[in-house]
Amino acid sequence: MTPTIEIGDTIADGTFTYVPYTPELDSHAACGVPTKLSIRKEWKGKKVVLFGVPGAFTPTCHVNHLPPYISKHDELKAKGVDVIAVVGANDPFVMSGWGRFEGLKDKILTLSDPNVEWAKQVGLIADLSARGLGVRIARFALILDDLVVKYLGVEPAPGAVTVSGADVVLSKL
């Protein structure tokens, strides 16, 4: 699917679900309580880096996509980024579990779009049915500044992190 958003567009409104970090989540016996995040309400007036992954704990996402964002967190913040978030099609508990496994705490929000409703609105989906994964979120990165798309990089090939990685995003800030 071709993205339906472009640089200069105001991002489509939508609601993600996520489990906010609390110290109780450091115990693996806790699950947390999912809450909603409204894009337009929460990100208005902010600089946001949002990157999408087909799935938590999947090889490219887990090894090559998320870890550089973790290691570059301070550099992204130094460039004026208010929010760093990753969105996947997994449910909010899986996304939270992935974040806890990676030690994210509150550095990177782990957002859930389990029915890819928002991703469909903006044309950022990938049909991975042939691999047994169903319809997922495409691998992408975008920079928003007061809800306006300033950068959009959608990976052209499965398993690639060439236009959506932390280094490329840093170079675009």
Q: Which residue ranges make up each domain of the chain?
A: 15-172
**Which residues of 25-163 form beta strands (DSSP E)?**
35-38, 47-52, 83-88, 109-112, 125-127, 135-137, 140-145, 148-154
Condensed to tens digits (0 to 9), the pLDDT of residues 55-77 reads: 887 767 676 788 999 999 999 99
Q: For this structure, is 61 an active site residue? A: yes
Condensed to tens digits (0 to 9), the pLDDT of residues 103-132 reads: 999 999 999 998 989 999 988 987 666 666
* CATH topology for the 15-172 domain: Glutaredoxin (3.40.30)
pLDDT of residue 132: 61
pLDDT of residue 142: 96
Q: Considering the candidates 5, 37, 49, 61, report the single residue annotated as catalytic.
A: 61
Residue 139 has pLDDT above 90, yes or no: no
Phi, psi of 71 (to 5 degrees): -70, -25
The SS3 assignment for 158 reads coil
Predicted TM-score (pTM) of this structure: 0.92
Condensed to tens digits (0 to 9), the pLDDT of residues 21-50 reads: 999 998 878 889 999 999 999 999 999 999
pLDDT of residue 141: 96
Condensed to tens digits (0 to 9), the pLDDT of residues 87-108 reads: 999 999 999 998 999 999 999 9
Phi, psi of 142 (to 5 degrees): -140, 150
d(CA 47, CA 155): 22
Residue 4 has pLDDT above 90, yes or no: no
